[in-house]
Amino acid sequence: MNNGITEYFEDIELYEEYDGYFCSIPDIITIAILGSICGLRNIHQIHQWATNDRVSEFLKEKFGIDHVPCYYWILSLLKYVKPESLNRCFADWVYSFMPEKSKSMTISLDGKTVCSTLKMSKIESPLHIISAQICELGLTLAQRSTDDKSNEIPAVQELLKELKIKGNIVVADALNCQKETAEIIVKQKADYLLCVKDNHPNLKKDIEDYVQDSSLRDTMQTVSRTEKNRGRVETRTAYVTTDINWLEQKKEWKNLKCIGAIHTEFSTKKGTSSEWHYYLSSREMTAEQLLHHARMEWSVESMHWLLDVHFEEDWCRVENKDVQQCLNMFRKAAINLIKNFKNRNNSKAAISKLMFECLMEPQMISRVIFEN
């Protein structure tokens, strides 16, 4: 990873130019990301932390930030930033510390509504943010905002067009099981694994009928895995086949190569329940690979959970949608840095523990960012 943060945000685009102040916007972004690494939840906390004598000296020594502006000026400067430009810089920054062998990884896409924006009088519609997650690494690659969840499908498609995902496999929920989405993924020289539900009733029924025919299911490649956790036993069984010439919709889905299903059985003291999920993919995959990539879809949801639990994002009261988007990216940047630190060091430490260590000892931030 490159030994700096500020340089990746030097080309930020602004709504209008400003002058006459001694703190640059890249410096403000650096302060916000560093404060977020410490688990700080809002601009008030970040400002209070940054103006501490010991932290101020650390910012000057390690990042060349000579002065921290007041809270109101930090907020004012962030309002200048175009979130789309920040997102492009964010993605370039993440690509800079991606491992060289990053092919065949799982890219998961999902959206999250920032709940605090639901009833804000100064925000006309709630902020819904689509995120792309590199699942095996736990890193957020990029994001795109939309006015509400009803616009998620086109937002996902536009985000996919911007990503460098060649050789990887994109997983998405049933909402984004769309022919146009599949075509965009293939054009990006990646593969798709899409969950088929009732938004494509005929396709789902055809796959379901095939899988539920015991004689046909016996011809499918299969694998089963069982996990036990706190009195709950979960058994997941995957089935895949490339025998799809019979499928009437085959030509409608770009490069469709195989179909599959996962049967999940849950056992607790209260009893047993089960469910089926059906899939289609542009990659010929084994049953083991289907289990792996389908399981990875939860990664982006785990990141959303971190945003709520560690940063209380759903309670953020900033009544400016652009600033809300910026803060969302700063928090993801912080999670990325900590996850990257954990990956480099094979650390099993909890994210909350590492954040607290950074808060208590600024030099720990240097380890998280610079230590190889």
Domain match, 224 and 355 both: no
Domain match, 254 and 178 both: yes
Domain match, 179 and 277 both: yes
Q: How many domains does the chain have?
A: 2
3-state secondary structure of 42: coil
Beta carbons of 267 and 232 less than 8 angstroms apart:
yes
- Determine, yes or no, domain membership for 182: yes
- Determine, yes or no, domain membership for 197: yes
- Determine, yes or no, domain membership for 311: no
> pLDDT for 217-234, tens place per residue?
999 999 999 998 877 899
pLDDT greater than 90 at residue 37: yes
pLDDT greater than 80 at residue 354: yes
- Determine, yes or no, domain membership for 162: yes
Which range marks the domain in which residue 243 is found? 94-305
Give the C-alpha separation, 252 to 182, whole Å.
10
- Determine, yes or no, domain membership for 313: no
**How many Cα neighbours within 13 Å face the side chain of 288?**
0
- Determine, yes or no, domain membership for 310: no
Domain match, 218 and 291 both: yes
- Determine, yes or no, domain membership for 1: no
- Determine, yes or no, domain membership for 145: yes
Domain match, 291 and 175 both: yes
Give the C-alpha separation, 322 to 266, whole Å.
42
The amino acid sitting at 48 is Q
Please give the radius of gyration of the chain, using alpha carbons only, rounded to the nearest integer: 23
Domain match, 270 and 348 both: no
> pLDDT for 127-142, tens place per residue?
899 999 999 989 999 9
Domain match, 108 and 253 both: yes
Domain match, 28 and 169 both: no
Domain match, 189 and 252 both: yes
pLDDT greater than 70 at residue 51: yes
Domain match, 171 and 298 both: yes
CA angle 199, 202, 207 (to 5 degrees): 100
Per-residue model confidence (pLDDT) at position 245: 96
Q: Pick the last residue of a domain from 305, 340, 357.
A: 305
pLDDT greater than 80 at residue 15: yes
Beta carbons of 46 and 35 less than 8 angstroms apart:
yes
Domain match, 248 and 340 both: no
Q: Is the dihedral of CA 317, 320, 325, 327 positive or negative?
A: negative
Of 74-78, 211-215, 251-255, minimum mean pLDDT range: 74-78
Domain match, 35 and 114 both: no
Q: Which residues pair with 264 in a beta bridge?
A: 236, 275
